[in-house]
Amino acid sequence: MIPKKVPIVALLLFVFAAVSWAQFQGRIKGRVLDPSGNPVDKAEVTLVSQKTSTVRYESKTDKEGRFVQVGLMPGYYTLTVKKAGFAPGSKEIKVGVAGEESVEISLKSIEAEAEKAYSAADKLFLKGNKLYAEQKFSEAVAAYGEAIALDPGNWGYRLNLGLSLKKAGRLEEALAAFRKAVELNPESYSANKETGEALGMAKQFAEAKPFYEKAAALSPDDPDAQYNLGVCLVNTGESEAALPRFQKAVEIKPDYAEAYYQMGTILVGQNKAAEACASLEKFLALAPDHEKAGIAKQLLEFLKK
């Protein structure tokens, strides 16, 4: 029962917030089929957020092989489908703000012994996720490694192995795991992004470029994907091509301070003083304490002489 003293305006604000939250959520609907194209009933569907493995949703398909999951925050999810007698199927799906994504997965039949191996691999994968969440990265690496030994074709296992290796400071091994994840699933945004970043950390920008390009193509409305590609292009001596990437990043995210800085430095080199000043001033307004603020101020002083 609502207390009589609660202001009506507060209730209206609450209702408005609830409506806004509902509009913010996304949903995924899909269908699961067998090798002959027939619907698979009661297949187990799991969605796990790639931001944090603790965000997890579970459902089952109906007689038509269909499933729907609502109430999803924007971001990337790993969708896994399991059913006795079939090899697990998985896909990476991006959910936008108030977006609805559709997906179809065809499962492959397997023998009973193979099914046992897949089941054991899945348990090890979940164990690795738990250890990763507890920041026990070396132990997570071991769990993911055991899962991969049982199911070497699972790209998600490779991706999470790479993330654990990166956290453990084993960067060369992480890169190898990310490369394998891309090989197994070329359309994974996360696998391409992580491979690009690993190569970038190793100063191998020419090699990183195609992975950053693929990530930006897979997720064109992700400001970080645009920014990362722009930085890579700067490091390969392609500043002209980098500029529109930074411009796109701030178009998507108007408060992206680092992108304004990068734009400013490129525009300085193009002798576009007014545009350079505007970008550098925006950068300083957004990030006055940034480590590059001193350089930005020096550039502004030079441009305004």
- Is it the case that residue 11 has pLDDT exceeding 50? no
pLDDT above 70 (res 18): no
46 — phi, psi (to 5°)? -125, 135
What's the mean pLDDT in 22-49? 86
pLDDT tens-digit map of 205-258: 999 999 999 999 999 989 999 999 999 999 999 999 999 999 999 999 999 999
Mean pLDDT of 7-36: 61
Question: Distance of CA 302 to CAs 210, 276, 297, Å?
Answer: 36, 11, 9
Task: Give the residue from 126, 132, 169 showing the smallest Cα distance to 51.
Answer: 132
pLDDT of residue 241: 96
Residue ranges matching CATH 2.60.40.1120 in the chain = 25-110
Does the reported pTM lie above 0.85?
no
- What are the tokens at 105? 């997965």
Residue 114 pLDDT: 79
Could you tell me which residues are beta bridge partners of residue 78? 48, 92
Contacts of 203 (CB under 8 A, 6+ apart): 235
CA distances in angstroms from 258 to 70, 198, 300, listed in the order given: 34, 20, 16
What CATH number matches the domain at 25-110, 3.40.190.10, 2.60.40.1120, 2.60.40.1080, 2.40.110.10? Answer: 2.60.40.1120
Which pLDDT score is estimated for 53? 67
Q: Candidates 1.10.10.10, 3.60.15.10, 3.30.360.10, 1.25.40.10; correct CATH number of 111-185?
A: 1.25.40.10
Per-residue buried b or exposed e for 226-254, using 16+ beta carbons within 10 Å of the residue's own CB: bbbbbbbbbbeeebeebbebbbbbbebbe
pLDDT band at 24 (very low <50, low <70, confident <90, very high): low
Residues of the chain with CATH 1.25.40.10: 111-185
